[in-house]
Amino acid sequence: MFSNLFGSHFSNSGTISFAVTSTNDTELTTLASAGSNFEKSPGTFGAGEVIRNKLVSGSDVNGASLDGYVDVNWGYAWELDPNTPAVAPGAGQTFDFYAAMFHEFTHALGFGSEISGTPAADRFDEGSTESGTPGSWSKWDEFLTDKSGAKLIDPNTQIVDATAFANAQTDGGLFAGPNAFLAFGSQPNLFDDPDQSHLDEATFSMPTKDMNFMMKPNRDYGPQEARTWSSLEIGILTDLGYSRVSAVPEPSTFAVILVGILAVETRRRRRVQVAS
C-alpha cells in the first residue's frame, strides 16, 4: 500500500530493507517509530542518509547493511484490516495501523532532522559528532529556519546556530523549501519538539483544519488519520530530492522488506504519539 502511495507521486525506485522490532507497553505514549540508518558524513546535508540516497540517486551508502528500522508498540489496540475503519474513542477504540505506518515510513524517506543534544547551545548531529564541529546532517536540515529566516544550521560552517535553534524551540521553526512554499503559500510551521521533525500540531491537525495531515506529531483513535500525503507533504518530499511523476507510474516503484531482528543500532527515532 505504501508502495502505491509513493509510486503515485514519485518516479524513484528501489528496494528498502527495514529491521523490525516490537514493544508492548501502554505506559509509553509512543505508538510507533521508524527512520533511515545514517552514515557519518561531516559537513554535508543528506550525504549519509541511507534510504533517501538509495531512492534518489541509487547510491547505497551502507552496502549490505539494513537500510532502516521500525518499531511498533502492540500495547495499544490497532485496526489491522486495511479495509475496516479504525474505531473512534470509546468502546472498542482502535488506531489506524496503516496511517501510523505510512507516517513512519515517510520519516524514513527523510522527513526529519538529525539535530540532537541539549541545551540549544550544545546541539550536534545524531551521529554524535562533537558539538561545535561540522555535523552530518539530513537534507531536511538544510531547509530549517527560525521565523526570522535564520538557518538552524549555518550553511558555511555546518554547525548548529544556537540562537536560531533556541528561537525555533520557543516560537516554532519553519521548513523553507521552495516546493513546500508553492504548495502551502508560505513556509510551513514545524512542531516545536526538540528535533523539528513534524508539521505543527496546531496548524495541521483537526479541528483547526478540515483534514488531518499525515506528518503531524500525534495520532488519535478512529478513521480520520491520513493515509495520503497532502500537497504540502508532497512538496516537502520534492524539496528533499524525490522526482515527481509525469505520468501514471507502475505501483511497485518502491518495495519494502521488513526483517525481524532483536536489536538495531541505538538511534533517536522519529515517532508518532498518542494524542493528548
Query: Quick one: which of 114, 111, 123 has its CA closest to 48?
Result: 114
What are the extents of the domains in the chain? Answer: 2-274
90, amino acid identity = G
**Which residues in the chain land under pLDDT 70?**
117-132, 194, 205-211, 247-276
How many whole angstroms separate alpha carbon 17 and alpha carbon 64? 10
Q: What is the pLDDT of residue 269?
A: 40
Q: What is the pLDDT of residue 274?
A: 59
Q: What is the pLDDT of residue 95?
A: 96
CB 213 within 8 A of CB 234: no
What global pTM score does this model have?
A: 0.88
Q: What is the pLDDT of residue 259?
A: 57
How many whole angstroms separate alpha carbon 66 and alpha carbon 84? 32
How many whole angstroms separate alpha carbon 230 and alpha carbon 204? 10
How many whole angstroms separate alpha carbon 111 and alpha carbon 10? 15
Question: Per residue in 107-156, pLDDT tens?
Answer: 999 999 988 765 455 556 655 456 667 888 999 999 999 999 999 999 99
Quote the mean pLDDT of the chain.
84
DSSP-based helix, strand, coil % in the chain, nearest 5: 25, 25, 55
Q: Is 68 helix (H, G, I), strand (E, B) or coil?
A: strand
Q: How many residues does the chain have?
A: 276
Q: What is the pLDDT of residue 202?
A: 80
